[in-house]
Structure 1
Amino acid sequence: MDRTSTNNPQEHHPEDENTVQITEHDRKVAAWGGAVGTALEQYDFIIYGTAAALVFNHIFFPNVSPAVGYLASFSTFAVGFFARPLGGIFFSKYGEKLGRKWVLVATLYLMGFATFAMGLIPSYDQIGLFAPLLLVICRFMQGFGAGAEMAGATVLLTETALPNKRGKMASLVWVGASVGTALGALAWIMVQLLPEQDFYAWGWRLVFFSSILVTFAAWLIRRGLKESPVFAEKKRHAKQEKAIPLREVFRDGKATIFRVFLMNVGANGHSYIYQAFIGSFLVSVVKVNASFIPKTLLVGATIAAFTSVMIGRASDIYGRKKIMYFIHTTLFFATIPMFMLLETGNTLYIMLVIIFGFIFAAEGTVSAQAAYFPELFGSKYRYAGVTLGREMSAVFGGGIGPMVCSALLTAFSNSWWPVAIYMMFIMSLSLIGIYISPETRGRSLYTPENAMDEKNGLNGIPQGNASALKVEKS
């Protein structure tokens, strides 16, 4: 074979030659492994977010006003997001060196242990300031593991899927997220059946102890995972490296990382505002009964589990950018009507808002992103690039989002208008990110260059790859 054609990524694609074989059974195991692991990650985060809205201000911050208690609770919630980029940086080098599967198993253990340990922390009345300190440490560990979890799962599924089904398969990660949210809501519904005194004394701890069951179920499935064919092919030809130098990742991919940052910051912020902050807003301002909040989460997450796959498949059919535009524009314009419906206190309107939030913000945004972000990066630093872009933006999105909203609510005497303006502002950043990013549907994942770096192509897809990018019909 001619040397030039062998080394030119625009002419030579392992996808065409089937140098790495993967069966339909392997794809199904990967889908289950990604979904179940993310179910645990979301379960951990949703039970914490719900606890921050309903319980932690009583257990760990009892000697402050309710408003300050909510703010303190959501501050500890934010700690997990500040830990996510650090976890992403730490695990990304192993994701590129040891494989996606290794990281997904390691983070599984870390998140499961941290969540279980939260249920063991004594209250403020028992050990004073050590109680919130231990809570922050456990939350940090939880976020440290989560920093590599979702990026790893979406990269693995995207690299494992057939080219014309990447959006659908990668979106299964977010079906797992919906299942995790539904399980977390169900756990809270069950413990809220206890007498109030027992609920605050020990009942809330049962929710955190239950994470061990989800962890075990995820481990059973993930132990059968196979490494993605893209990573396996990369390891066959690449030299062994001691570590992935982050300066190279930023040097080669800073433009793409920046675009992922913009696209995710508003989406991630809206996601956790709907899932965490809205609950405290309804309880503290609208005066909705606290037991109603987990029920709305359960209904919203259950419905979103079905729509996630539909959105992912739509991105395969119509393109990543079109679906991203539709989801994010809808969220931007729905913000003010959403608060107007919530402040009525009507349970039907509240339920519709929560369902909308789950379909579009909690699961819709990430389902549209699922295959898009991995496709934006080349094969060389895909795991590290997706992880850094997603997790750095998560700090400024979901990390501080509920905390900023609580602070605005307190500063402006429970008026929701400043919160709505803030939500629209961060979503406008995501819309800018979509506008400046290329379309990537069908792009070869074996190409080492990032989509923004490929030359002589249209929307990030090299023209010379037209035959290589032909895919099987659904």
Structure 2
Amino acid sequence: MSSTHHGPRAQGAATMSQAEYSANLQRATLSSSVGSALEYFDFAMYGLMTALVFDRLFFSTDHPAMATVAAFGVYGVGFLARPFGGLFFGTIGDRIGRRWVLVATILLMGGASTLIGVLPTYEQVGMLAPALLVLLRLAQGFGAGAEQAGATVLMAEYAPVRRRGFFSALPFIGIQAGTLLASVVFFLLTLMPDEAFLAWGWRLPFLASAGLILIALFIRAKLRETPSFIQLEKQEQIAERPVREIFTRGRAGVVVGIGLRMAENGGSYMFQSIALAFVTSAAIGMDRGLVTWGVTLGSLIGIFSVPLTGRISDRIGRVPMYRFGAVFMLVFSFPAWYLLSLGNEYVAIAVIAVGLGVAVNSMLGPQCAMLPELFGNRHRYLGVAMARELSAVLAGGLAGVLGAALLAWTGGNWVVLAIYMATLAAITTASTFLVPETRARDLLRTEDALRISETERDTATDLTFSAADGGGPGEGGGVRSHRAGARSLGALDGPSA
């Protein structure tokens, strides 16, 4: 191995005292969690409003089914913007650092969400209303395209090695908190008279995004750059052309990362948006406010299941934990959509809660550390952003548009939706057989996990876990330096965060 792999983690870590490290780990966790909460509050709220409000306020109501398809089309536009935001901000994140990108993305994403709350409706300004909605949705998606990738990379690079799965999953409690908050707020809003809700009540949660922006900015302004990026600067290894690297050396990681995300991302948006549109359609006619509690319960479960599955992945490996979630969704798809079609509101709540809390989050937990571990240090931010956001278009965005279209074309046939979800789960299950085990990988390595030989991988794994089990830290592509750096901070067991 090149000598550049020996010592960077230790040197970078040693620039901070134990107290500084603990404080920055806490700030990284909190800032990532607040950003995740804001992103998913906005996206979950937008999804709820799309299924039940935007089709009525921003499009002609002459053809209700087509208005629903159009509303989900605008929903999908946000996903189309995400890869471009990931490409733009991911490149900057690998060139100048993680911290300032996260400041820029929270401003763009939160600002766009706040402005949605002051938009005029179709009745007031005609076609200008959906045009403005599309514009702000594009800005929202552009900022979100790097926000979650940045939070993922930030925590993986700060986290103690042996507990990286757990610590990397902690900010994603923000996803559950944001989704939970959105569903609770939406339920409370549905208690309003319909006239007041459609006139001004729906605007309140978007306007409230401004408060979360200020909190996130305050926290992120005090955050230091990650030790891994500091060492890239010291070693003068920062990529001059990260885009070229990611689409040559890092392409395999991006493709596999997309496959891993198909069931997690697509399934999440199907349970949150398409399922609600399905069960509240005229054919089934469930109460929209009551069924939303399925999303609420799923988010409550996720607050525990995401860090739990991240922690389990520290013990048994990322791949086995991830595969469990994908197979669970594959098996669950047909029973879930059949039960949703029965018209029982309490059964629907349980199905949505299990789909989100167990199936989706059993993949999300290990994914938080797994995606950063797939990519080398020189283009990690961009690699994670591309894997996340291209999959967001193919899975999350397409789930809304295609799902709404399938509802309209088939008259609400549950079998078609079950086949679609099972297909997403099958793609992810297959992808888990293409990815190497990445648990405890040295994040200072500049090559991607998919590019190292089987011999190198086995050697590095044996040495890493030999040290983790209490033996002396061994050589092997920076394993000694990585763990020595963590030990020098007292971070091997993780400072309290």
Q: Give the CA deviation at 1:353.
A: 1.0
Preserved contact between residue 300 and residue 358 of structure 1 (Cα < 8 Å): yes
Q: Distance in 2 between matches of 1:209 and 1:374?
A: 33
Residue 470 of structure 2 is matched in structure 1 by none
Which of 257, 261, 264 is residue 261 of structure 2 equivalent to?
264
| 1:438-462 C-alpha deviation (Å, 9 max, x unpaired) | 0010110011111112233236946
Q: Distance in 1 between matches of 2:165 and 2:333?
A: 27
Q: Distance in 1 between matches of 2:463 and 2:302?
A: 39
| 1:196-239 C-alpha deviation (Å, 9 max, x unpaired) | 11111111111211111222222222222221110111111116
Q: Distance in 1 between matches of 2:150 and 2:460?
A: 24
Residue 14 of structure 1 is matched in structure 2 by 8
Q: Does 1:248 align with 2:242?
A: no
Residue 216 of structure 1 is matched in structure 2 by 214
1:121-160 equivalence runs, <5 A: 121-160=119-158
1:12-411 equivalence runs, <5 A: 12-16=6-10, 18-21=13-16, 23-238=21-236, 244-284=241-281, 285-411=283-409
Q: Which sits farther off after the overlay, 207-216 or 243-252?
A: 243-252
Residues 128 and 439 of structure 1: is their aligned pair in 2 closer, same or farther, counting only changes over 3 Å? same
Q: Which sits farther off after the overlay, 136-145 or 345-354?
A: 345-354
Q: Give the CA deviation at 1:328.
A: 0.6
Q: Give the CA deviation at 1:153.
A: 0.3
Preserved contact between residue 189 and residue 291 of structure 1 (Cα < 8 Å): yes
**Alignment partner of 2:334: what SS?**
helix
**Alignment partner of 2:241: what SS?**
coil
Preserved contact between residue 272 and residue 362 of structure 1 (Cα < 8 Å): no
Q: Give the CA deviation at 1:180.
A: 0.5
Q: Distance in 1 between matches of 2:140 and 2:186?
A: 19
**Alignment partner of 2:61: what SS?**
coil
Q: Distance in 2 between matches of 1:461 and 1:354?
A: 41
Residue 471 of structure 2 is matched in structure 1 by none
Residues 460 and 119 of structure 1: is their aligned pair in 2 closer, same or farther, counting only changes over 3 Å? farther
Residues 461 and 425 of structure 1: is their aligned pair in 2 closer, same or farther, counting only changes over 3 Å? farther
Q: Give the CA deviation at 1:403.
A: 1.4
| 1:119-162 C-alpha deviation (Å, 9 max, x unpaired) | 11111011111111110111010000000011110100000000
TM-score, normalization: structure 1?
A: 0.94
Q: Distance in 1 between matches of 2:244 and 2:437?
A: 26
Gaps of 5+ in 1: none
Residues 431 and 13 of structure 1: is their aligned pair in 2 closer, same or farther, counting only changes over 3 Å? farther
Residues 131 and 361 of structure 1: is their aligned pair in 2 closer, same or farther, counting only changes over 3 Å? farther
Q: How many percent of aligned residue pairs carry the same amino acid?
A: 35
Q: Which sits farther off after the overlay, 188-197 or 81-90?
A: 188-197
Q: Distance in 1 between matches of 2:190 and 2:459?
A: 51
Q: Distance in 1 between matches of 2:293 and 2:267?
A: 20
Q: Distance in 1 between matches of 2:216 and 2:242?
A: 31
CA RMSD of aligned residues (A): 1.9
Q: Distance in 2 between matches of 1:300 and 1:64?
A: 35
Residues 107 and 422 of structure 1: is their aligned pair in 2 closer, same or farther, counting only changes over 3 Å? same
The residue type equivalent to 1:302 in the other structure is: L
Gaps of 5+ in 2: 467-473, 487-491
Residues 184 and 288 of structure 1: is their aligned pair in 2 closer, same or farther, counting only changes over 3 Å? same
Q: Distance in 2 between matches of 1:224 and 1:245?
A: 27
Preserved contact between residue 39 and residue 109 of structure 2 (Cα < 8 Å): yes
Q: Which sits farther off after the overlay, 137-146 or 285-294?
A: 285-294
TM-score, normalization: structure 2?
A: 0.90
Q: Give the CA deviation at 1:79.
A: 0.4
Q: Give the CA deviation at 1:240.
A: 6.6
Residues 251 and 78 of structure 1: is their aligned pair in 2 closer, same or farther, counting only changes over 3 Å? same
Q: Which sits farther off after the overlay, 96-105 or 290-299?
A: 290-299
Q: Give the CA deviation at 1:267.
A: 1.9
Residue 449 of structure 1 is matched in structure 2 by 447
Residues 356 and 430 of structure 1: is their aligned pair in 2 closer, same or farther, counting only changes over 3 Å? same
Q: Give the CA deviation at 1:39.
A: 0.4
Q: Distance in 1 between matches of 2:59 and 2:203?
A: 16
Q: Give the CA deviation at 1:313.
A: 0.5
Q: Distance in 2 between matches of 1:58 and 1:100?
A: 40
